[in-house]
Structure 1
């Protein structure tokens, strides 16, 4: 679950046309759902993933040690440390790791980002109603449950407020 950082769906469509990023679905402020990519297409929306076992505190001791060493490695930049964790995690299978671009669907919800407050706009009732319907449909077509649905900052290193007010 993502939030666009834009105020309109058209500005999001424009960013998709530039390539390199995107999601499978977009929900505008009126609650209209657009399918922007076929569900079998890989879209680039996840980013570098966090360690699922580390976040949930369910790692084996060896995993905790390895991930801690990567996260707090001296002499490495934050970006390199995140990439190292991502590379360790992507060798695992889902659901032992968070979803990657290759095995996930992205849903964008139109909502602006305020740089001063470092927060995303509250998702409105129409958007949440559409989101609930869309997630329900996707759950019936794929072998998934609500446990398999994540907000972007849960999975990767994004702003904590992204899609915080999303409900499904």
Structure 2
């Protein structure tokens, strides 16, 4: 899958490579750069930016236009380096740095023969989330666990992986599952051979987020801790990212772009909810006697 996508929060347009933002690839836009801003910004994330209007040669002070379409290929808005709203002279250039963005997209277009790039709108918008009376996060698009036929297994799974009232949370622990899918892990946890292991959240390869346990209960995910580590199951929230470990190469699957995006969303919510900082995020193998690299490269601290 091509590594590039775009992210827009109404003010800044960012280029993501494999789900991560490079600091020199963030472009602040003037409101006049965007046509139809209210309808566009308020909608969902199912948008693409068309690349067919990008010319072969990029020149400073030339006018460029990027059309934003929905899943039905219907034009929803336009981002440009001139005044898109025609409030004043439309020939006035709003931002010459726009040429840098166009140049990067041109290279992407040529390298991957791409005609469009995915646009994520309102990324990490968590303003409408809340924790309900049962300890489940609502308003963030998280799903509840099901069996392979789509039947709800929330209560049955809880009987296996929830273990008493949780304490004051002071850590978020990042894991990889050693499985091929979220479904296989959810099925495995509902088995006495799993010995009660589980985490509060799981992220599938496509970025789907499952809340597998209430935030009010402890899950067993820390395991045998390294010397000096005081974090426990009772003081931490566990997040699993679906991945496989190759015994021959001794390497874990790299997280997909969708998984990295989903993980940042969960973490942003949890940091806010528990009043934590990025210093409270830990890779599982750094605090417990687990396979090396289990939590590596899932979340890059400091990236916005």
TM-score by length of 1: 0.71
The superposition leaves residues 117-149 of structure 1 with CA deviations (integer Å, 9 ceiling, x where unpaired) of 122100111100110111010000002111111
**SS of the residue 2:271 aligns to:** helix
- Match for residue 123 of structure 2? none
Residue 36 (structure 1) aligned with residue 212 (structure 2):
yes
- CA contact under 8 A between 1:123 and 1:166: conserved in structure 2? yes
Judging changes above 3 Å, is the alpha-carbon distance between structure 1 residues 118 and 98 closer, same or farther for their aligned structure 2 residues? farther
Q: Give the deviation of 1:163 after TM superposition.
A: 2.4
CA RMSD, aligned part only? 1.2
Higher helix share: 1
In 1, the alpha carbon distance for the partners of 2:199 and 2:249 equals 26
In 2, the alpha carbon distance for the partners of 1:133 and 1:147 equals 17
- Match for residue 68 of structure 1? none
In 2, the alpha carbon distance for the partners of 1:51 and 1:135 equals 26
The answer for unaligned runs of 5 or more in structure 1 is: 53-96
Which residue, out of 16, 28, 49, partners 2:189? 16
After the TM superposition, which parts of structure 1 deviate over 6 Å for at least 4 consecutive aligned residues?
A: none
Which residue, out of 121, 124, 127, partners 2:253? 121
TM-score by length of 2: 0.40
- Match for residue 264 of structure 2? 132
In 1, the alpha carbon distance for the partners of 2:267 and 2:211 equals 13
**SS of the residue 1:137 aligns to:** helix
Which residue, out of 19, 27, 43, partners 2:203? 27
The superposition leaves residues 63-121 of structure 1 with CA deviations (integer Å, 9 ceiling, x where unpaired) of xxxxxxxxxxxxxxxxxxxxxxxxxxxxxxxxxx4411111110000011111112210
- Answer with 1 or 2: which has the greater Rg: 2
Equivalences, count: 124
Specify which structure has the bigger relative contact order, considering alpha-carbon pairs within 8 angstroms and separated by 6 or more residues.
1
**SS of the residue 2:210 aligns to:** strand
In 2, the alpha carbon distance for the partners of 1:98 and 1:45 equals 14
In 2, the alpha carbon distance for the partners of 1:160 and 1:42 equals 25
In 2, the alpha carbon distance for the partners of 1:51 and 1:119 equals 25
The answer for unaligned runs of 5 or more in structure 2 is: 1-173
Which residue, out of 272, 275, 279, partners 1:143? 275
Residue 7 (structure 1) aligned with residue 180 (structure 2):
yes
